[in-house]
Amino acid sequence: MKHDIKIVKKAVKGDSEAFESLLFNEEKMLYYKALSLLRNKEDALDAIQETAYHAYQSIRQLRQCEYFSTWLFRILIRECYKVLKKRDRLIPYEEKELLRKLEFTEEVTIESCYLNEALSKLNSSYQTVIILFYYHDTSIKDISKIIDKPVSTVKTHLHRAKKTLKFELERSYLIHENIT
């Protein structure tokens, strides 16, 4: 979301009303992103509260006012991962949506258990990139900023994750075919 740069600059200088108005403009995005990652209303609200707190504490460190939304989203993602790590959960996703966006063109119907298994075999950085890119429609440039990696690394992770995911899905299907 684009914000008025003047309001962001006021918030950076310490104007709490300007900061509050920026948060109100982002509240729906924060809630839906947190809910999609955590799949629990209470956890999502906790993550948003922590995000607001940490953002308010560090708003003076924001260097480029035009990237306020990206900066805030990065804080939210970190808070969501803290909650997930604390509860020792995997990143949730909707299987059918992810398969559609991956354009998996096999003639077979992939069951969600296959996707769960395949995604669980990816390392966490690959999982993060796949889910942010395909499920949350986050650009590669934004993913790069969120995970603090160069764009080329994000592209490499995305390529390798897709390759591994496709291999694992095909392998799961073949194993299932031989059993039945």
pLDDT tens across the length of the chain (180 residues):
567 889 999 999 999 999 999 999 999 989 988 887 787 899 899 999 999 999 999 999 998 898 898 899 889 988 988 887 776 544 555 556 666 656 554 444 455 566 767 777 788 778 888 878 877 778 899 888 888 889 999 999 999 998 888 888 777 766 656 555
> What is the phi/psi pair of residue 63, to 5°?
-90, -40
Question: Would you state the structure tokens that stand for residue 22, as one six-digit string?
Answer: 């920026």
Q: What is the pTM of this model?
A: 0.55
Contact (Cβ atoms closer than 8 angstroms) between residue 54 and residue 73: no
Look at residue 15 in the predicted model and tell me its pLDDT.
92
Distance CA 86, CA 71 (A): 23
pLDDT confidence of residue 96: 60
Token representation of residue 137: 């429609």
Please provide the DSSP assignment of 15-75 as one string: -HHHHHHHHHHHHHHHHHHHHHHH--HHHHHHHHHHHHHHHHHHGGG---GGGHHHHHHHH
Of 174, 158, 166, the closest CA to residue 104 belongs to: 166
Q: What is the pLDDT of residue 81?
A: 82
Question: How many angstroms separate the CA atoms of 33 and 8, rounded?
Answer: 22
CA-closest candidate to residue 168, choices 128, 124, 119, 100 = 119
**Residue 82 pLDDT:** 85
Sign, CA dihedral 167-134-78-46, equals negative
**36, 135 Cβ separation under 8 angstroms:** yes
pLDDT at 108: 42
Tokens at 44, concatenated: 């999502």
In the chain, the domains with their CATH numbers are 5-87 (1.10.1740.10), 95-179 (1.10.10.10)
Q: Shortest CA distance to 117 belongs to which of 157, 161, 178, 168?
A: 168
Question: Are residues 2 and 48 in contact, defined by beta-carbon separation less than 8 angstroms?
Answer: no
